[in-house]
Structure 1
Amino acid sequence: MFCAPFLASGAPQVLLDTDIGYDLDDALTVWAATRTVTELGILTTDETPTNERAHLTTEILHALGRTDVPVIAGRKLPGAQQRFLMAGQTSVNRPLCTDLIDYVSAVYEGSTQPVIWVCMGPASNLADVLIAHPEFAEQTDLVMMGGWLDHYRRPDRASHNPRMDPRAFGLVMRAIRRPRLVMSTHTNAAALAITPASPLYSWLTMPQAPADYALIAENATRWFAHRLQREPGAEPSSWMSDVVTLAAALDVGVVDFATENVRIEEDALMYRDPNGCELQVSTSVDLDGFLDWLSAVLPVTAMTA
């Protein structure tokens, strides 16, 4: 299943593009990536004026022992401060890079193979890069979380990541050659939901849990509280959509894709159209295979406690 070359010398460069500090699955994806990817960089998006997401990412990486991973504070979007954010304590004293275009340019110019871009938030950062360097489109292997075609829990709107910056989403989907979309339709599955009753959450929050994972546990606790506040009486949860997207980007073999020609509207809603842009969209997720892979990636007790 998992392709070992991502941990080998000369492995492809992987860029995680994340709005970490919001839904729990971003932090879980960073955790999984630190255990599976050697050449890793993390770009934050939907940033706050003080780059709180980047500071949180730096703290999490420091706790996980991956101080080699660069963190770059990315695009700030309107309304970021009104959205839920589990900020860190900014206790790690490391310089923070905010020049995303320069950093990404150096990555692309230093790579002899396609750069794997895992988009787990709005497509704003990649849109900015492609506007500055359209030649990078041919060197980008994009796997993005989001979008739907046939059915979704909110059929009146696009899913979260595309609708956060519809113009960027449309630009990126048209510019990149055959981008892969892990669609919300296929990740909104009960088997992928982390809840307060899940073994993973129980393990993260037990009294003897390793301090390395304290920020991830806190993100989970605060996210569940936020969801309960919004939907009193409902069981709070977080789907591991972004972690599935990372697995797809690493060619683990748990997501099936098919080619579709798609028309993308101004609000990021998508419709089949023979004259639309050609995308690779997910058709199914092997849930058991994904959970087996994740159990092998994370500490053994975390998934079974």
Structure 2
Amino acid sequence: MLSPHEARLGAAPAIFDMDIGTDPDDTCVAAMLAARPARFQPALLVTSDETHEQGRARFLAGLLRAAGVDLPVAAGLPSLRRRASCLVEEAGLARDDVPFSRDAVGEIVRVLDTHPRVDYVGLGPLTNLDAALLRRPDLAARVRLFQMGPALAGAYRREAAQYNARLDPGAFARVLGQVEAPRLLFSHSSWGSFGEGMRQKLGVYPDDPLAGALRKAHPAARMFVRHLEAWVETGKDCSIMHDPLTVLSAALPGLVDFEEVSLVLREDGWVALTEAAHGALGARAPARGKVIAGVLAGPWAPVEGRTIEARMSLDTDDEAARRAIAEALLGEEGARVAEAWGTWNRGGGTSMTGERGSISKA
């Protein structure tokens, strides 16, 4: 029998903490939950990085209502940036006529207090869970955390710390230091293009076969495409499926390779390997660590911060990930769509309508 920390997502009630409303990858997760709620056991959906008018919660609750799915939604706390609005509000996609709780922290405490173990899927900053555990630190032992982010220093494509971590680095470090063996989907595991100037391996583009199939699917899937189109109108090329990969890698074996390591959490949101983890990972799993090969091959440098034990993602089976995402949204049809999606984004095939794909720099 699997231990509680080895069991897959879906074996216990789950809280999904989402910064839904800007990048559409959270909306893809919401569409997955709406399509098959029993698979993931959602007990509560909360928003994070919330706006003044709570547009993220209004959008999420509206998406679920349109899909005919009754799941509890709660508006969470703003991030340190305290946004005035988000994309779905500006695009007119957030409804005004949907009920939701306005106390995510209280709802999180209620769910944790009700169940001996709860899977917490963090797809945004950890401000909400941090506030809940500050109120009730005794509940930390009940949390099994699956978190999107952070980024490993030296292995990230950007100069700033990963988004979820840098929005509230204090909350991020406190929560990861309280819960046992958090499972972290690092940013290097979900970024990656087919080649220089080519599309993202896990990117969804408005003209690709996945988006085309979703336009004809269930209401939540169609809402994801509407959000994607609004996102691209802002100048983005695509939405990369960071959050769906986080969810599905916790539910399905084989999508992402994870390794138990010791990590140092810096105050600014960056994360580094300890000296022991750097040496052990480089020696024990050089092939598995090819995405971060540059970090492992270089010298270790001392870093100040909090040390934790965690399960860290290494590499991703991108083909299996595309198939899992498409199947979670479309059911049996998803395998066929996923193959066409990969071919289209690679730039060498045709869409479901027979049109040739274009190459777009992501």
- TM exceeding 0.5: yes
Q: CA deviation at 1:238?
A: 1.1
Determine if contact 2:8/2:252 at 8 Å carries over to the other structure.
Answer: no
Determine if contact 2:55/2:85 at 8 Å carries over to the other structure.
Answer: no
Flag the 1:281–1:115 CA change in 2: closer, same or farther, 3 A: same
Alignment pair present for 1:27 and 2:27 = yes
**Residues in 2 aligned to 1:71 and 1:96: alpha-carbon distance in whole angstroms:** 5
**Residues in 1 aligned to 2:22 and 2:146: alpha-carbon distance in whole angstroms:** 20
**Number of aligned residues:** 287
Q: Which residue of 2 aligns with 1:226?
A: 234
Q: CA RMSD in A?
A: 2.3
Q: CA deviation at 1:185?
A: 0.5
Q: Secondary structure at the match of 1:191?
A: coil
Residues 238-289 of structure 1 deviation map (CA, whole Å, 9 limit, x = unaligned): 1101000011232444122112212211111112225821121101112122
Q: TM (normalized to structure 2)? A: 0.73
Flag the 1:247–1:86 CA change in 2: closer, same or farther, 3 A: same
Determine if contact 2:46/2:73 at 8 Å carries over to the other structure.
Answer: yes
Q: What does 1:255-270 correspond to in 2, within 5 Å?
A: 255-270=256-271
Q: Secondary structure at the match of 2:201?
A: helix
**Residues in 2 aligned to 1:146 and 1:237: alpha-carbon distance in whole angstroms:** 19
Q: Which residue of 1 aligns with 2:111?
A: 107
Q: Aligned to 1:293, which of 324, 344, 347?
A: 324
Q: Which residue of 1 aligns with 2:201?
A: 191
Q: Which amino acid aligns with 2:316?
A: V
Q: CA deviation at 1:52?
A: 0.6
Flag the 1:295–1:4 CA change in 2: closer, same or farther, 3 A: farther
Q: Which amino acid aligns with 2:268?
A: D
**Residues in 2 aligned to 1:65 and 1:45: alpha-carbon distance in whole angstroms:** 23
Q: Secondary structure at the match of 1:282?
A: strand
Q: Which residue of 1 aligns with 2:134?
A: 131
162-171 or 196-205, which deviates more: 196-205
Residues 77-136 of structure 1 deviation map (CA, whole Å, 9 limit, x = unaligned): 243436742125554634321122321222122213x21111111111111111111112
Structure 2: stretches of 5+ with no match in the other structure: 1-6, 193-199, 277-305, 341-351, 353-362
Q: Which residue of 2 aligns with 1:45?
A: 48
Q: TM (normalized to structure 1)? A: 0.86
Q: Which amino acid aligns with 1:50?
A: E
Flag the 1:256–1:76 CA change in 2: closer, same or farther, 3 A: same
Q: CA deviation at 1:204?
A: 3.7
Determine if contact 2:161/2:269 at 8 Å carries over to the other structure.
Answer: yes
Structure 1: stretches of 5+ with no match in the other structure: 229-235
Q: Which residue of 1 aligns with 2:17?
A: 17
Asked which structure has the greater CA Rg, the reply is 2
